[in-house]
Amino acid sequence: MNENTKKLFHLAWNEPRRFFFYLMALAIFGVAAMYAMSVLTVEPVGSSLHKATLISFAVFILTAVFSALLFVLAWIPPISRLLTWILQRRFFALVCVLTLVALFYAVENWRGRHAWQSFRKAEEARGEIFDLLKLVPPPVPDDQNFAMADIWVREITLQIGRERARRWYGDRVDLVNTNATRPLEMPVDLSVLDLTNGAGNFQKGIKTDLAAWQNYYRQLAEKTNFFPVPATPSAPADDILISLSRYDKTIEELRRAASLPYSRFPLIYDDPNPMSILLPHLAPLKTVVRTLQLRAIAELGAGKEDEALDDVELMLRVLNANHGEPLAIAPLVQISELHLILQPIWEGLVAHQWKESHLAKLEAEFSKLDFLSDSTHSMRGERAFAITGIDYWEQHRQEMGGLMETKDYTSALSFEDVCNDAFGQIWPRGWFDQNKLSIARTYGDLLLPVIEPQNHRVFLARQRELSRVLDTPFPHPVYDWFSRVFIPALQGFSRKAARAESLVDLARVAIALERYHLAHGNFPQTLDALAPQFLAKVPHDLITGEPLKYSIAPDGNYSLYSVGWNERDDGGKIVLGKGKAPSIDIVQGDWVWFSAAQEGTATH
């Protein structure tokens, strides 16, 4: 080695600017190499090589950042002299660095554990629950459980396979004929033809076009015999009932199962990986309600009000089949089902087809619905679910980047994906505790206070504060990492719950108004006349806390609405979005219950 080379290496080790420049360059090269390995190699998640690659990637990034910072500081003479002194005592410096790293981990672990445990103890003393298993519905006897009926054993087994269904139904799945079709896969339309202008929409005041459905089934019969049709067409409602008779036996079996007093689907809540919880029952529940909706509307069209009521009651039983499940998806599916159920109820009301006995039963069923309480219960469940997930990811750090049980490393990954995966390997345990604290505080301070079920209110000022916080960067990027992942998806949850509860309120008032109309031949001048004979208590507008908007129109019909999410009285007008088939804009306009079929009432 010549003198110039010796001088170069000597200066590199003893001159801070050169040393940290070389170190930064080496670290950047290491970052690139580890990133390439993460993207190009196919290694199972959790393997030794996979973990080593991610840890090396994180170490190289930290080294690059640290050396870049010291390279800049080395231009300051006092700091440069200090760094030169440290570099001349490399072993001492290494010991100091390792000691500082160990101290950092010890302090962060203690701080995180102490902060989370102190917070949790104080909140649990106030009655809050953070354990997911304490929020799940209690078990019920299998022979009294709708969700354990044979029809569900067949449906779930045929949907997800015997091995996975065995976790729900045990050896009963062995009796299922796997060549059979799923009993609750019962669509009312197929993708073979396009059905337009057939579906009704009570939120727009549009009735279902039964003639369009009749024509659809007759055209479909030219391509497939999936739905039976009569040889010659008759009344649209009668023909639709013949087509839907394909499902008569299934519906009757479902009705017998629904007569059982309880319903608890055997979800595996104690699975160590919360992302692996199976929810195969939700889609069939909604499918059943969709089929029963068209059948009930056709029964009303055929003058079979008693049969229509039976199907509406079955729809409400299906809606409540997953009641109490502490996951946000549960009330969201129920809200979708509610919209389907309200269509035949509304069509029967505007046609004055429901009898007093029918209306009394409907009021009794709707008085049991409480989407505000269900939603707060689900939000507490989501909070516990997130905390359980953080515990899982602390033990399975290699999965943090994707937040999934498995991750496809054969596809292209972004630099952020690899960074998230890598830094998860070197997080102090205390950071996971800090994330649990962040999640719990965000729910407790921002999400849960929006809804007050006990007062039947939704407070939009609190919702705006939630939106403001979520629209700004979280104050602690590492402590709030999981909050950034979980919380934004629930920002619109309260609005959907409020809308659903408001529809229940409006439907109950409309049912009471129809009962009053049957008794007196007209509608009352004020809603106060409904209580206590037809309503124990007239609900108020949950947005404002004031009475719902109600008035009698010159044609004898009524106007009934809530001021909606914009907190402004728009005179009973709804607002539609854009597009060929625009949906209701539930943020703008009023939330209206139409007393008669409408045309051209919506604004754009």
Is the pTM for the entire model greater than 0.75?
A: yes
Per-position DSSP letters for 272-321, written without gaps between them: SSGGG---TTHHHHHHHHHHHHHHHHHHHHTT-HHHHHHHHHHHHHHHGG
Mean pLDDT of all residues in 240-248: 97
Q: Which residues are CB-neighbours of 375 under 8 A, at least 6 positions away?
A: 331, 451, 493, 494, 497
Mean pLDDT of all residues in 171-193: 90
DSSP for residue 231 = S
E strand or H helix at 355, and its extent? none
Query: Taking 90 as the threshold, does the pLDDT of residue 186 lie above it?
Result: yes
47-90 pLDDT, tens per residue? Answer: 555 666 666 667 777 777 777 777 777 777 787 777 676 666 66
397-453 pLDDT, tens per residue? Answer: 665 554 433 344 444 455 555 555 656 677 888 989 999 999 999 999 999 999 999
- Determine the Cα–Cα distance for residues 463 and 448; give it in Å rounded to an integer: 10
R_g of the chain, CA atoms, integer Å? 31
- Determine the Cα–Cα distance for residues 446 and 443; give it in Å rounded to an integer: 6
Higher pLDDT pick, 603 / 447: 447
Is residue 266 within 8 A of residue 169, CB to CB? The reply is yes
Q: CA 515 → CA 225, 304, 352, distances in Å? A: 43, 19, 10
Share the mean pLDDT of the chain: 86
| Residue 466 buriedness (CB in 10 A; 0-12 / 13-18 / 19+) | buried
State residue 458 phi and psi, 5-degree precision: -125, 125
Query: Taking 70 as the threshold, does the pLDDT of residue 125 lie above it?
Result: yes
pLDDT, residue 459, reads: 95
pLDDT category of residue 94 using cuts at 50, 70 and 90: low
pLDDT, residue 2, reads: 57
Distance of alpha carbon 149 from the chain centroid: 27
Instruction: Tally the C-alpha atoms within 13 A of residue 253's C-alpha that lie toward its C-beta.
Output: 15
Is residue 438 within 8 A of residue 479, CB to CB? The reply is yes
Higher pLDDT pick, 437 / 93: 437
- Determine the Cα–Cα distance for residues 461 and 553; give it in Å rounded to an integer: 33
Is residue 183 within 8 A of residue 154, CB to CB? The reply is yes
Residue whose entry in the numeric block shows the structure tokens 């009962």: 515
pLDDT, residue 603, reads: 38
- Determine the Cα–Cα distance for residues 587 and 114; give it in Å rounded to an integer: 42
Is residue 245 within 8 A of residue 228, CB to CB? The reply is yes
pLDDT, residue 403, reads: 47
63-72 pLDDT, tens per residue? Answer: 777 777 777 7
Tokens (6 digits) for 427: 């997080």
Higher pLDDT pick, 5 / 393: 393
pLDDT category of residue 601 using cuts at 50, 70 and 90: very low
| Residue 387 buriedness (CB in 10 A; 0-12 / 13-18 / 19+) | buried
pLDDT, residue 407, reads: 41
474-528 pLDDT, tens per residue? Answer: 777 788 888 887 888 888 899 999 999 999 999 999 999 999 999 999 999 999 9
